[in-house]
Amino acid sequence: MGTNDARRATGPRAGQEWGTIPLSVRAVRAARGTPQSGDGRLRLVNRSRGTTLADRVEVATSSWARAVGLMGRRSLPEGFGLVIAPCGSVHLFLVHVPLDIVHLDADGVVLRVASLSPWSVGPRVRGSAVVVEVLAGAAARAETRASDVIVLTTAGSGVGT
């Protein structure tokens, strides 16, 4: 699926449910306001490894939400993740905690994982359609690396660990 296709689509394909589709611009946009099962929280699962990348996920798809991101937050809860879509690069200006940055293509495949310190600028990654920001060390704990597939799911879906 190309980037333009991902931007036009609005939700899971017919017959699919949350936790069964790769994280993409389409999935992120569809997640906003979607009725959710379990405790209603979204989470990010590394489907390739069966691990959880984040279990307290927020999504940023509007221009304002993507521009603000995590600026001004002095701390983040354990298991927190921010999904920014569409996005090709990030900065940590006015962000007070170190983060792992996971770049995904339009199909939810990991292109690059980088660790950034506060007040730094991340790399621009060619082909990046979605960026996931998690607390420093979370990507390593979830064994996330290039070519893994990340899915967006609800906390009660049973996908991942």
Domains along the chain?
3-11+23-154 (2.60.120.1140)
Q: What is the pLDDT of residues 63-76, one digit of tens each?
A: 888 888 888 888 89
Q: What is the pLDDT of residues 14-66, one digit of tens each?
A: 344 444 445 565 666 666 554 333 355 788 999 999 999 999 998 888 888 88
Measured distance CA(6)–CA(3) in Å, rounded: 5
Q: What is the pLDDT of residues 100-159, one digit of tens each?
A: 999 999 999 999 999 999 999 999 999 999 999 999 999 999 999 999 999 988 765 555
110 phi, psi to nearest 5 deg = -70, 125
Residue 134 β-bridge partners = 81, 100
Measured distance CA(1)–CA(109) in Å, rounded: 11
Residues 50 and 160 sit within 8 Å (Cβ to Cβ): yes
* pLDDT exceeds cutoff 70 at 7: no
CA distances from 124 to 62, 91, 114, 159 (A): 20, 10, 11, 30
pTM for the structure as a whole: 0.77
Measured distance CA(41)–CA(89) in Å, rounded: 26
Residues 25 and 6 sit within 8 Å (Cβ to Cβ): yes
4 C-beta neighbours (distance < 10 Å), count: 10
Residue 116 β-bridge partners = 99
More reliable by pLDDT, 12 or 43: 43
Residue-level pLDDT at 32? 58
142 phi, psi to nearest 5 deg = -85, 5
Measured distance CA(61)–CA(67) in Å, rounded: 10
The 8-class DSSP code of residue 138 comes to H
